[in-house]
Amino acid sequence: MSIDFYNKNADQFFNDTVTADVSVLRDRFVRELPPSASILDAGCGSGRDAKAFVDLGFNVTAFDASAEMVARAALHADCPVLHLTFDEMSWDSEFDGIWASASLLHVPRASLVPTVARCRQALKPGGVLYTSFKYGDADRAKDGRHFTDLNEDLYQDILTEAGGMQVVELWRTADVRPGRQDEMWLNALARRAD
């Protein structure tokens, strides 16, 4: 459902998000990484953040489930952009950090635990996962997309069930896009514990 939305609305979504300023969020993530870290931008959308990480000197791999977004991100980000879904992730201890900004929120709630476990497996021991979800506790569809909303307790439950991850920080922010400041987000940093 969500993939079809992004394939059909790729140009509009690219234009609406490529200049959104999430540098404050990226800075919090980067502080947890070693110099020259390897980063996976998971569900990279426009490639905005992948490009920012490349520009900071990190080794970046990105992926998205939407073929149309992959095409746009590959032109924008100046790094490898793969066409795959979270279910197709098979990396093993390869990344110092995974950046999953506004992407895991499209994973159905019943699939979040195994998806977070695959993210954990892709991280090197001590690696850091950044995620962001719309704040709440609902499962909902809007404009042809599925959303799984999380609050702090629900996030912690998923992390506990996935195993091997510890919360570094949880915090809320308002949406940075114009006209959406009333939408709240749950941001999270978690570290692979072994």
Residue 142, classed as helix, strand or coil, is strand
Percent of the chain at pLDDT > 70 equals 96
Query: Given phi > 0 = left and psi -120 to 50 = alpha, else beta, which region is 163?
Result: left
- Mean pLDDT to the nearest integer, 108-132: 98
pLDDT of residue 194: 82
Q: Is residue 84 part of a domain?
A: yes
Residue 167 backbone dihedrals phi, psi, to 5 degrees: -65, 130
Tokens of 4: 């079809």
Tens of pLDDT, residues 61-95? 999 999 998 999 999 998 999 999 999 999 999 99
Question: Which residue range is the domain that position 69 belongs to?
Answer: 2-177
Residues shown for the chain: 194
Number of domains composing the chain: 1
Asked whether residue 118 is domain-assigned, the answer is: yes
What span, in angstroms and rounded, lies between the C-alpha atoms of 106 and 1? Answer: 9
Under DSSP, is residue 135 helix (H, G, I), strand (E, B) or coil?
A: strand
Whether 100 is covered by a domain: the verdict is yes
User: Is there a domain that residue 91 lies in?
Assistant: yes
6-61 pLDDT, tens digit each: 778 777 867 777 777 889 999 999 999 999 999 999 999 999 999 999 999 999 99
Residue 81 domain flag: yes
Which CATH number belongs to the domain containing residue 79 in this structure? 3.40.50.150
